């Protein structure tokens, strides 16, 4: 009886949508459009989690004190083409660096990094620099910063139009304005590792996604439009916040 009823319903209404029950690759999302004369339109797209985008080509520090080893691993892997893990770099820094001082200060120094880079066959050096030197630099550099009350190491990927793009082992791919970066740049020091042989493929080079910045006024305006009931300010007041445009497309050098 049930089979007869089910067959009648299928014959009367037909199928309006097919469902793919086959296993899909991780990150696949199926998008469906309403029915058209030719049936529903479906498309599969691959989505990458924001957490992965944020830390693309950045080694995330494993410990609160290991920003130096993570930043150095980022530079070695994604600029110089090595295939190292942070643990291996930490072991190398302890072996070739000043182990007693590393344990005492719970962190690595630029001297430790220079010695480890030499053990890997690279020439390197720490320099005092001006912002113009950083802007003119043609490859990534490791720099110390003073941020949120702590000393920290990051990799400067590049500088474009007074914006400093950074691979941060704690926060991922972020950027600072020139003014803000100059405030936190610790003693204007930068550490450079020079390639041995031909120029490597630089996976830290900026791409189109990096070239889009949303300013503070736009963020405030989007928040107002998304949740107008909990905002006591008017849209005109929101527009007065910030000083930039809606979306800034930075030009390359």
User: How confident is the model at residue 29, as a pLDDT?
Assistant: 62
Contact 33, 16 (CB under 8 A): no
Place 81 in a pLDDT band, splitting at 50, 70 and 90.
Answer: very high
Buried b (16+ CB within 10 A) or exposed e, 139-156: bbbbbbbebeeeebbbbb
pLDDT digits (tens, 9 = 90+) for 27-65: 566 666 665 666 666 666 666 666 677 889 999 999 988
Q: Which of these, 168, 161, 124, lies nearest to 145 by C-alpha position?
A: 168
The tokens describing 230, both together, are 């909990």
pLDDT digits (tens, 9 = 90+) for 126-180: 999 999 999 999 999 999 999 878 899 999 999 998 999 999 999 999 999 999 9
User: How confident is the model at residue 158, as a pLDDT?
Assistant: 95
Whether the predicted model's global pTM rises above the 0.95 cut: no
Q: Which of these, 177, 174, 175, 159, lies nearest to 56 by C-alpha position?
A: 174
CATH T-level assignment (fold) for domain 52-206: Cathepsin B; Chain A (3.90.70)
The tokens describing 103, both together, are 């344990």
**Domain boundaries in the chain?**
52-206, 210-249
Q: Give CA–CA dist 156/203, Å, rounded.
A: 13
Q: Which range has the top average pLDDT, 23-37, 81-95, 204-218?
A: 81-95
3-state secondary structure of 164: strand
The tokens describing 29, both together, are 């999302």
3-state secondary structure of 119: helix
Q: Which of 58, 67, 141, 206 is catalytic?
A: 67
The tokens describing 66, both together, are 């290991």
Q: Give CA–CA dist 253/240, Å, rounded.
A: 31
3-state secondary structure of 213: strand
67 part of the active site? yes
Q: Phi and psi dihedrals of 32, rounded to 5?
A: -120, 140
């Amino acid at each position: 009886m049930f089979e007869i009823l089910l067959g009648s319903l299928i014959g009367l209404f037909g199928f309006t949508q097919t469902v793919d029950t086959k296993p899909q690759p991780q990150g696949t999302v199926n998008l469906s459009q309403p029915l058209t004369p030719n049936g529903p339109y479906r498309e599969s797209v691959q989505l990458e989690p924001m957490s992965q985008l944020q830390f693309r080509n950045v080694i995330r520090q494993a410990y609160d004190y290991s920003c130096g080893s993570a930043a150095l691993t980022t530079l070695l892997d994604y600029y110089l083409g090595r295939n190292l893990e942070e643990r291996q770099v930490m072991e190398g820094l302890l072996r070739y660096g000043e182990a007693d001082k590393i344990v005492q200060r719970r962190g690595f120094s630029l001297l430790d990094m220079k010695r480890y880079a030499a053990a890997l066959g690279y020439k390197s050096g720490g320099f005092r620099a001006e912002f113009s030197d950083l802007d003119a630099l043609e490859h990534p550099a490791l720099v110390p910063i003073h941020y949120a009350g702590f000393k920290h190491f990051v990799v400067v990927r590049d500088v474009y139009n007074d914006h400093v793009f950074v691979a941060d082992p704690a926060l991922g791919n972020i950027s600072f304005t020139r003014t803000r970066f100059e405030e936190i740049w610790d003693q204007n020091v930068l550490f450079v590792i020079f390639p041995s042989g031909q120029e490597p493929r630089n996976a830290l080079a900026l791409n189109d996604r990096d070239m889009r910045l949303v300013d503070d006024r736009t963020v405030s305006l989007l928040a107002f439009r998304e949740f107008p009931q909990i905002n006591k300010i008017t849209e005109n007041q929101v527009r007065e916040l910030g000083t930039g445009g809606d979306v800034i497309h930075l030009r390359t050098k």
